[in-house]
Amino acid sequence: MVKLVIVNNKDEEIGLEEKLKAHLGKGILHRAFTIFVFNPKSQLLIQKRSKNKFLWPLVWETTCSSHPLQKEDYIKAGEKRLRKELGVNCKLKLLTKFQYQARYKNIGSEKEVCALLVGKYNGKVKPNPKEVADWKWVDIKTLKDNLKKNPGEYAPWLKLALKYYEKRK
């Protein structure tokens, strides 16, 4: 059973909790990361989440998102997850962290201190079908237009990460 790192508002570890329990109801504040990988044309790689995901199945999100394990730093966890989900091997850097809470229907919530990691990649994408339903490279302007037109097709953390990215880039 995967255990998530439970944190306070300062991202200080205060315990561990089973992944499912951390996402039920209003959620329990835990560590997470989300990743933006860009190609040489400055297009962002986004993925459509697998139909098997507990929260937000079959919606578009960032390049990749997950949770660092206990004693695992955000960057190493992000690089490992990128390889697992998309077959992408690239160096990441920490751009910023943000905290949010988002409810998904009556099923559960994300309640996270989320690290935004950024990298560049110019190679093949080999998605893991257990994790990823679809993927594409997209221009930021096109993405922002689509977010306005079809907000329900996108994960809430993608919208937030994009705002934080644009403030920091």
* Contact present, 65 and 110 (Cβ < 8 Å): no
The span from the first CA to the last CA of the chain, in angstroms, equals: 37
Angle at 81 (CA atoms; ends 80, 82), nearest 5 degrees: 95
Which one from 72, 112, 131, 153 is the annotated catalytic residue?
Answer: 112
* Contact present, 6 and 12 (Cβ < 8 Å): no
- Within 8 A by CB and 6+ apart from 128, the residues are 84, 85, 86, 87
Helix (H/G/I), strand (E/B), else coil: 88: coil
- Clarify whether 112 is annotated catalytic: yes
Residues known to be catalytic: 112
